[in-house]
Structure 1
Amino acid sequence: MASANQAQIAPVTVARNLGWAELRAALAAGWGDFRACPGYGLFFAGVYVAAGLFLYFALFNRGEVAWLVPAAAGFPLLAPFIAVGLYEVSRRREAGLPMTWGAVLGALRGRGGDDQIVSMGAIVFVAFGFWLMIAHGIFAVFLAESGIGTESLALFGTRAGMMMLVVGGAVGAVLAWAFYAVTVVSLPMLVHREVDFMTAIIVSLAVVRSNSLTMLVWAGVIAVTLFAAMLPAFLGLLVALPVLGHATWHLYRRAVCDPA
């Protein structure tokens, strides 16, 4: 039976009392996992960094420099899917299981081996594409007013450009929060338990709803850290992404447990 600090969400219970101590402990444990198994963290972060650099050079070569702003804003949406391998590293380290590349990469399908994480991955990429479509529409509305093309960042120095940033930022924040609420617990749960992705999403939303302030702070930590880490040619992500990925696993372990 769930206690006052827990809520029953079949087939698990979720904590209602996550606080600053849990966030600090998760970050400390995430740093410990990265230091213990740096090769895995650098590999998955390297894939993410390579994708970011490819996107940057593709937009630059096409003369679509202004698109770097919405692309950079939406790019963190892909981070949770990249972090799936990191969740498996933390799980295996916690359980004392041998660490092998085959086992870690095999986790990309989920515990049940029925491609539940692949289904979640499809949602990730659809969400990223949806954000780019919305950003394109916002650009189209304000570009006509500014009279400046997307080949220059000078667009954002105009009144229309600044308004575009405000509107786009507000819309992007709403989408990012919804996506975060859906994935922050569901992806590590799919690595840990044999559940379908809809059940994992329901549990994730329950954790966010039951610990709204703490999970909002955690979302802010992730967003600010990833954005700052992207500034030095994406290279800061080589450390930031693995630490945050491992830390998210440990926060999930504190938030979700088996029914008593």
Structure 2
Amino acid sequence: MASFHVIAGANEAQEHIRVRKIGVHDLVDALRRGIDDFMVKPSHLVFLCLIYPIVGVFLAAWTSGNNALPLLFPLVSGFALIGPFAAIGLYEISRRRELGMDASWRHAFDIRHSPALPAIAAVGGMLFVIFLAWLLTAQAFYQNLFGRIPPESIADFVREIYSTERGWTLIIVGHAIGFVFAVVVLCTTVIAFPLLLDRDVGAYEAVHASVRAVLANPVTMAIWGLMVTIGLMIGSLPLFAGLAVVLPVFGHATWHLYRKVIEPEPSA
């Protein structure tokens, strides 16, 4: 059944993926390899990732009106929640380069021929639901503190946020809530998409393997999440343009992280 194939994979059986313990040195090496992948054909990779900063700028412009202004930070920060799915073409490039195959930017779109495409779409849909849940939660929390009346101006909004008690409550508690959403995404998708590109194991096992990888390496994966967060923060300046470099670097690095944390198939 096609629906079962989405869940369990091509063999219609739950394949148990074995995970390894890794250290900080593995994260550094994965990042180094990601940078190396990016440097091979940087113009092609930047072209692939232009959509990320463009959408970021669009989100900022869309929320420039007072009514949507409070959603600016949740939109920009929450967009990173679907980053693992946005970088899927980069995983494919790293995979092909690892195999000694042509790794031009055009091959990033070869994922449309992947037998695991339904499972990839299912996990991507899960991320989109998490993204929407974050936006709704952020909006509800803001309205609980400030009410439904929009700020009169950007200056008034900034003043309310940084010079009032409820503004600092929004900053501190809002970041804590966002942290929870980020942890959920990290745990469920840290290696899910690279795994599905490499082995059609189904959406369930891909997510399950990601969770087990985090549980087996809690401190190391927490450091990885911190590295990605700092990278995205730096890449957001100026005007999200830096994401055209940060996203491909971490996208490629994620493929190499997957290779380090998941044992290959016995026949590989």
Settle same-fold status: TM greater than 0.5: yes
Is the contact made by 1:65 and 1:150 (CA closer than 8 Å) also made in structure 2? no
Match of 1:19 in 2: 23
Candidates 47, 52, 77, aligned match of 1:48? 52
Is the contact made by 1:27 and 1:244 (CA closer than 8 Å) also made in structure 2? yes
Match of 1:155 in 2: 160
Candidates 70, 73, 77, aligned match of 2:77? 73
Alpha-carbon spacing, 1:67–1:220, altered in 2? closer, same or farther (3 Å)? same
In the TM superposition, residue 82 of structure 1 has moved relative to its aligned partner by: 1.0
2:253 paired with 1:250: no
In the TM superposition, residue 92 of structure 1 has moved relative to its aligned partner by: 0.2
Provide the alpha-carbon RMSD of the alignment.
Answer: 2.2
Q: Which letter maps to 1:128?
A: F
Match of 1:126 in 2: 129
Match of 2:41 in 1: 37
- Percent identity between matched residues is 33
Give secondary structure in 1 for the equivalent of 2:19.
strand
2:193 paired with 1:187: yes
Match of 2:244 in 1: 238
Match of 2:143 in 1: 140
- Any stretches of 5+ residues in structure 2 without a counterpart? 1-13
Match of 1:60 in 2: 64
Deviations 1:171-193 (A, max 9, x none): 11011101111111101111111
Alpha-carbon spacing, 1:140–1:28, altered in 2? closer, same or farther (3 Å)? same
Candidates 76, 84, 87, aligned match of 1:83? 87
Match of 1:4 in 2: none
Question: Using the alignment, how far apart are the partners of 1:174 and 1:11 within structure 2?
Answer: 27
Give secondary structure in 1 for the equivalent of 2:201.
coil
Deviations 1:180-208 (A, max 9, x none): 11111101111111111111001010100
Is the contact made by 1:87 and 1:249 (CA closer than 8 Å) also made in structure 2? yes
Question: Using the alignment, how far apart are the partners of 2:207 and 2:144 within structure 1?
Answer: 34
Question: Using the alignment, how far apart are the partners of 2:53 and 2:182 within structure 1?
Answer: 20
Is the contact made by 1:26 and 1:250 (CA closer than 8 Å) also made in structure 2? yes
Alpha-carbon spacing, 1:237–1:102, altered in 2? closer, same or farther (3 Å)? closer
Question: Using the alignment, how far apart are the partners of 1:50 and 1:160 within structure 2?
Answer: 32
Is the contact made by 2:82 and 2:131 (CA closer than 8 Å) also made in structure 1? yes
Is the contact made by 1:110 and 1:116 (CA closer than 8 Å) also made in structure 2? no
- Any stretches of 5+ residues in structure 1 without a counterpart? 1-8
Q: Which letter maps to 2:108?
A: V
Q: Which letter maps to 1:88?
A: E
